[in-house]
Structure 1
Amino acid sequence: MVLYREKDFAEETNRITGGEGVDVVYDSVGKDTFDRSLDCLKTRGYMVLFGGSSGQVPPFDLQVLNQKGGLYVTRPALAQYTRTREELLWRAESLFSWIGQGNLDVRIGGTYALEDAARAHRDLEGRKTTGKLILIP
């Protein structure tokens, strides 16, 4: 595991892959890691930017994607993948099936009493958490 606040994760990724890079980067941090996440990708690599805990990525020149190897970037949102009730049920069934079969490991990063929900949000916003957080009523 490479902790992006402790090491240059792009340098580590390129060291580990022998300079080839990786096929996909899932970036939940945003502004602070966006450029270096692109640097981790191999030619025609794919970056999924699904969060912005450090802030939103500022506008950038799309020509950079060409210069770095014909890269792809997407910014999905859950609502785009659950537009109908049928799609929501289909995706939920797949997800819970994978979890039940042990094919998907869901890391629980912490639990909070429901009355501590504001603290849980502050911890998320302050990037003090990893994994999923659970609120207990």
Structure 2
Amino acid sequence: MSGSLACLKVRGYIVAFGMASGEHEPLRFLQAARKSIYYTAVTTYSYIVQRDELLAASQEVFSHIENGTLRVRLYQTYPLSQVAQAHLDMESRKSTGSIVLVPDA
């Protein structure tokens, strides 16, 4: 985390979303205070607690996809027969973005 602080401007923001690579080095209060850094850690579960919230959020996302406001980019596809390789690539961070498994031809 200390490396991230070096590139931030005074009153910059650190937003942690997800922990794909595991937990990071802890952010020390004095490190953040020197530059008045804002820090937040976000999880989906903080915003979607009840099923009706999930349904409303999903409907909003899909409506943005339908009207073209939001475009979905698929970064990598694998045939279903290569699901093990897809998992290995994801675990080793060889892939970024979405991975989609498609039926074998």
What's the TM-score once normalised by structure 2's chain length? 0.77
Cα-to-partner distance string for 1:7-52 (whole Å, 9 max, x where unaligned): xxxxxxxxxxxxxxxxxxxxxxxxxxx4333333333222221233
Residues 99-135 of structure 1, C-alpha deviation per residue, up to 9 Å, x if partnerless? Answer: 2232223221111233433322211121111221112
Between the two proteins, the alignment pairs up a number of residues equal to 103
Contact 2:76 / 2:99 at 8 angstroms: preserved in 1?
yes
Q: Flag the structure with higher strand content.
A: 1
Residue 71, structure 1, aligned to residue 47, structure 2: no
> Quick check: 1:119 aligned with 2:85?
yes
Letter in 1 for 2:7: C
* Structure 1: segments with no counterpart, 5+ residues: 1-33
- Taking only the aligned residue pairs, the percentage that are identical comes to 41
Q: 2:16 aligns with which of 49, 56, 59?
A: 49
Q: What is the TM-score of this pair, normalised by structure 1? A: 0.62
In our comparison, the structure showing a higher alpha carbon Rg is: 2
How far, CA to CA, are the matches of 1:89 and 1:122 in structure 2?
A: 32
AA partner of residue 10 (structure 2): T
Could you say which structure has the greater relative contact order, defined with CA pairs below 8 angstroms and 6 or more residues apart? 2
